Structure formats: structure tokens, C-alpha cells
Chains A and B, each alone.
Chain A
């Protein structure tokens, strides 16, 4: 392998770009010269290693994980059910339209503050994760159903295929690519919004609470280390859910 072909490898190029970004970060941290303003990547890595050993670490991660996942799963199932209902009935689509548009356009901070006025902190993360993920899932399911091949629908009508089999053999394959990409996006968005809600709502025992405390005590290394944790857990959740979804579709296609 020549050096040029080595550089043309996508994985190699991505690794090099990450290393370059880390080098820029290290240089910037050295230039700032203050861990309170910008901790270096080495310092953040060391803090991350010590974070894993702290007693409250896993309980905080689990606390946020359970609530954000609950909000996402609620959005996932409601998005599918209502997306199907809207796909089959224009009236339902019209009724849901203002709610979905509101969910898509209203800034998440406004939702968080409204929720804090209306309810206590316990359900905040679940509700905000739900509100941010629902429109993504719903819109994509609807889009997938609208893209269903008209000729297959005609065939199903001619052969008097009942709705259960139509769902299995025609509708689910039609929404599959839409649902896979929507879920991937929605998991990431649920994590971003869920943690933001925990920070603003100062939800005790959550990852957001840890971020808030890091900000209050100017612990930049803590802030960045927890950010790395959020990214890792969010990406892991996304990959795990994508895998489960693919396994589900593979199971359906084997029927």
C-alpha cells in the first residue's frame, strides 16, 4: 500500500481529521492557559477516567438514560401509531398538523420553561425528549406511507389483502428506510433536548445536574468530560436502537 492510497482510505482520513481537531484543541487550551476557561483534551481525558470511579457516576447516567429513553420510546410508538392514522386518513393528518408544526418550530427552551411552570421536575426529561422526538418520527412515518407504491396498493385492493397483511408486507417495508433514519436522528435529538431540560430544570441526580454544577463551580474539565459521556451514551443508544430496529425488520422479512 502506497502512502497516497493509505491517505485515500476514508477511515484513515477521518482518524487524521479527529487527531488534527484534538491538536487544535490542545493548542487553543495551551494558548488560553486556564483550565477554568478551556481544559485541554489530556486534562479532560484524565477527568473522564476519574469520573468513572466516582460513586454517583453510573446512577446519574442511568437516571438520565432511563428518562430520555422513555421519552424517546413514547415518541417512537406514538409517532408510528399517529403517523399510520394520518397516513390512512387525511382528516387525522389535518387535525394533527398544528400540533406537529408547533412541536417542530417552537424553541425547546420555551417548552422546558412552560413545563417547569406546569409540572414538577420529575417528568420534565421524559416530556421534553418526547416532544422533540415525536415530530421527527411522525413526519417520517407519514412520508414513508405516502411514498408507498400506488401499484402495490392497487394489487392489495384487488387481492382483498386484509389490513394486517397489508401492514406487514406493504406498509412496513415502505416506512422502513424512513423509520431507520428518523430514529437515528430522533435519539440524538432526544439526548440533546433531554439534557438541556435537566440543566435548565436543575433535575437532581441527572447528567444535566452534573453539567450545571460544573458550570457553577467553573470546572471546565468536568463540563467537557460529562459532555463526552453524553456523546458516548447518546451514540451507543442510537446504535443499539438501530440494531434492534434492523433485527425487527429482518424478522418481519423472514415471515
Chain B
């Protein structure tokens, strides 16, 4: 798995400079946690790596073609069930039983066809995480993925992510040092 290399990357929004000649090499096949105060460009960094934004300057290299992204907002299809939301990204590449197994791991399999719009915030978050994992991407970008999950559940969800991302490049933005420690990842601070 290639390293993701950022070399002198800058990004501004109007007058506001969010990233200023940022350089770092994110090791391929490993988890890296990105920390730092709010508004320092952590989400922007993930968006740049995902190709959803273009940098004003600098270079980004080594990004795998197949990327999964858990955004800060869940971006779920609320009219569909958890199963439907996984089908959106997987199509028929995975069997129903395989998808249900993912939902079971996240305690979501009781009502796989119940509309996601009727789910609690924590359940929606888990569906968004399952969707990213089911995509079988080479690189998984997680933007505050465990926010809103209660402590007991958070560890289960982190275990699920660790289980299914072994050997993949994972970049996880979080403000919580305990999460970073649990994930056993290298921590990069953007300050």
C-alpha cells in the first residue's frame, strides 16, 4: 500500500488561509489520527486527499483510487433502511447475508429495513461507518466518526473499524486523545 504524500499543500477560503504549505507523509496500510484545534484544516485536509477539493498550491500523491469517507454529517438516504444505505455503495457485490453481518457487528441488524430517518443519531453514525467499511476501499477517511456514540458502544465501533481496516490506509480526525490511544495510531497534529 502506497504512502499518501502531501508536499507544501495550501488551501484558502476567501481571505481565510486554512492550510499553509502543509507537508506530511501518511504511511500506507496504517492508521493515522489527525488532531488539532477546531478550524485548523483537519476536515479540509481529508477533503483534499479525497479529491473533493483542489489545493491552491502544493502536491498530493499516492492516494489510492478507491476511497471511502465517513463525513462529519452522516449523508444517509433517510428514506431507506440500513441495508439500503449499504446497497447504495455496494450494489450486488456483497450478499444480503454479508451486509447483515456488518449490521450485526454494529448492533443494527434488528430492523435492517426500518427507515434510517427514524434512527437515533448514534445509530445513523454507525450506518455511515458500516457504509464506508462495506465499500472495501484501499483508503478510509474518517472525520470525527465516533462523535455522538455513547462510551460503551464507542469501543465496539472502534473494534469494528480496526477489524475491517487492517492493512488499509486509514486517516481519522478526532479531538479525543482516548480514541487515538485506543486505535493505537500515530498522531499528527495540525496547529
Contacts and interface: CB of A to CB of B under 8 A. Distances in A.
A165 B87 contact: yes
Interface in B36-63: 50-52
A161 B134 CA distance: 13
A254 B50 contact: no
B113 A151 contact: no
Nearest to B115: A253
Interface in B7-28: none
Nearest to A162: B91
Contacts of B91: 162, 165
Nearest to A250: B79
Contact of B80 (A151, A160, A255): A255
Contact of B67 (A152, A158, A254): A158
Nearest to A152: B75
* Chain B binding surface SS class: loop
Given A158-B67, A159-B89, A173 B77 contact: yes
B69 interface: yes
B88 A173 contact: no
B52 A158 contact: yes
Interface string B63-100: 00011110101010111110011011101000000000
A245 interface: no
B50 A169 contact: no
A154 B72 CA distance: 14
Interface in A160-215: 160-162, 165, 169-170, 173, 176
Nearest to B113: A254
B168 to A, nearest CB: 16
A151 B77 contact: no
Nearest to B50: A158
B135 A253 contact: no
Interface string B153-184: 00000000000000000000000000000000
A156 B80 CA distance: 15
Contacts of A162: 91
B75 A253 contact: no
Nearest to B83: A255
A253 B52 CA distance: 29
Contacts of B89: 159, 161
A159 B76 CA distance: 13
A155 interface: yes
Given A169-B77, A170-B77, A173-B77, A159 B88 contact: yes
A151 B143 CA distance: 15
A162 B52 CA distance: 18
Contacts of A255: 80, 84, 87
A221 B113 CA distance: 54
Contacts of A151: 71, 73, 75
A176 B88 CA distance: 18
Contacts of A173: 77-80
Nearest to B131: A159
Given A155-B75, A158-B67, A158-B69, A253 B88 contact: no
Nearest to A253: B79
A161 B91 CA distance: 8
A181 to B, nearest CB: 17
A253 B87 contact: no
Given A253-B80, A255-B87, A159 B135 contact: yes
B73 A169 contact: no
B115 A155 contact: no
19 contacts: A151-B71, A151-B75, A152-B75, A155-B69, A158-B69, A159-B68, A159-B89, A160-B66, A162-B91, A165-B88, A165-B91, A169-B77, A169-B84, A169-B88, A253-B79, A253-B84, A254-B81, A254-B113, A255-B84
**Which 5 A-B pairs give the minimum distances between C-beta atoms?**
A159-B89, A173-B79, A169-B88, A155-B75, A169-B77
Interface of A: 149, 151-152, 154-156, 158-162, 165, 169-170, 173, 176, 253-255
